[in-house]
Amino acid sequence: MDRKLFQEICNKVISINSAIRFAGIADEDGELLAFSERKELTPLLTPEERTQYAITAATRQYTRLRWESHLGKINYASSLYAKLIRATIPITDENNRLAYVLLMSFDVGTTDFHNIIMKHVIPLVNKYRETLNKESLQ
């Protein structure tokens, strides 16, 4: 597995908008493969808490994917906390099996995070989707 690819994606996501605090990619088991944080950011989570969050986020994505046959394709899920906005984007293979999860956080008060995700982040992920799916099979 080439972690440089995951790091490249995280770095590109961070550069999309100054409101993005954090971008990370976890595999289907929740192992954090790479992440990038905004420069001069004081993280709200410790490295251990970040690891636990990645595991939890991957588990939640499995649950959400199960309902797609009834509700339609999930683009992302988000949570509004008092100190930040979190978003998770499932990256699935051609059989709709979860391969990776893109984890993101935004500054609280970012009112256009939906547009940032839909118009910039998801198209970026889609550019890498075929390469990512090949990585998940290795």
pLDDT score at 65: 82
pLDDT (tens digit, 9 = 90+) per residue, 112-122? 999 999 999 99
Encode pLDDT of 22-52 as tens digits.
999 999 999 999 999 999 998 999 999 999 9
Q: Is the pLDDT of residue 103 over 90?
A: yes
Kindly write down the DSSP assignment for every residue of 47-66, as one continuous string: HHHHHHHHHHHHHHHHHHHT
Q: Is 92 a residue whose pLDDT tops 60?
A: yes
Average pLDDT, the chain: 91
Residue 85 sits in a domain whose CATH number is: 3.30.450.30
DSSP H or E stretch at residue 19: none
Q: Give the total number of structural domains in the chain.
A: 1
Query: How many Cβ atoms from other residues are within 10 Å of residue 105's Cβ?
Result: 27
Question: In this predicted structure, what is the pLDDT of residue 136?
Answer: 61
Domain that holds residue 59: 3-137
Distance in angstroms (rounded) separating the CA atoms of residues 113 and 91 = 19
